[in-house]
Structure 1
């Protein structure tokens, strides 16, 4: 009987560390987001927004210290609801498909639970596959926080998704 040696596969890069962004991360957030905005995958946002709202962002930091992905989590209160909205979700091209988005999303869900949010909403011009894997389902914009829903650009034809926490 002959046995073959097990096939070696290259090790996947380690998952990034996810942390809350700080004011010093705003330029990197804008730089990471820019190609996605140019392609139409993200809404165009001024660099000043990243500086003003840095604390709303989770960032995935690679072993080299560079930001490889980000997602904003904005809390909306009112109308009897306490909900969050995930926005500006993007992962650097060279790290897509390697668990960075999942790490960001798991952290956002945990943060939403820790803040006692009733639900998380998001809008995507993509297929929403990653969000569906984490329990998000399609909803109408009317179910989302009003201020955020009213800010959606109907020309983008975005898919609105939600997950109860």
Structure 2
């Protein structure tokens, strides 16, 4: 005989759906939380280390999702690169520092952050988005990104990449 004991979790302890936590723009007061959220990914090698002062200076680049207790559950930054004179290309954006807290992964928060970044990029009349990843890039590919040649990306950004990380560049036209 097989016996099955079900466990009922009180409603307040169940994980809230990802849409319960809206995406918002970050501000300089979020810098320490951005750094803390990013640390496990820096330690694993998935993200480059950034100083707290960079998070303060670049806070306006970030979109974030807060948990019910105010803890940041995820973040993604968008840096705008104006079109280079004489190239005939429009401005481009670079997505960076994309992470979702390990306990919140697989709940759609990354997809919501990426969708919000696409909306923000479109509202700024950017023509393309780029990102560099050391991972599979699966989420980006599901959102229309494809491998790109380094020459297509903003040169200032390409020059800042660390070659030893062996990142793959992905792009999406807007």
Cα deviation digits, residues 108-128 of structure 1 (max 9, x gap): 000001111001100000000
1:5 aligns with: none
Question: Equivalents in 1 of 2:83, 2:124: separation in Å?
Answer: 15
| Correspondence 1:37 to 2:42 | yes
Question: Equivalents in 2 of 1:154, 1:163: separation in Å?
Answer: 22
| TM-score after normalising by structure 2 | 0.86
Question: What's the CA shift for 1:12?
Answer: 5.2
What is the CA RMSD across the aligned residues, in angstroms? 1.6
Unaligned runs of 5+ in 2: 1-7
Aligned length: 158
1:1-165 → structure 2 map (5 Å cutoff)? 13-15=16-18, 16-79=21-84, 80-165=89-174
Unaligned runs of 5+ in 1: 1-7
Question: Equivalents in 2 of 1:120, 1:62: separation in Å?
Answer: 27
Cα deviation digits, residues 79-98 of structure 1 (max 9, x gap): 24300000000000000111
The structure richer in strand per residue is 1
Question: Equivalents in 2 of 1:26, 1:158: separation in Å?
Answer: 25
Question: Equivalents in 1 of 2:162, 2:150: separation in Å?
Answer: 11
Question: What's the CA shift for 1:156?
Answer: 0.5
Question: Equivalents in 2 of 1:148, 1:163: separation in Å?
Answer: 16
Q: Which moved more, 1:127-136 or 1:63-72?
A: 63-72
Question: Equivalents in 2 of 1:156, 1:111: separation in Å?
Answer: 28
Whether the 8 Å CA contact 1:68–1:95 is kept in 2: the answer is yes
| TM-score after normalising by structure 1 | 0.91
Whether the 8 Å CA contact 1:17–1:62 is kept in 2: the answer is no
Q: Which moved more, 1:58-67 or 1:141-150?
A: 58-67
SS at match of 1:98: coil
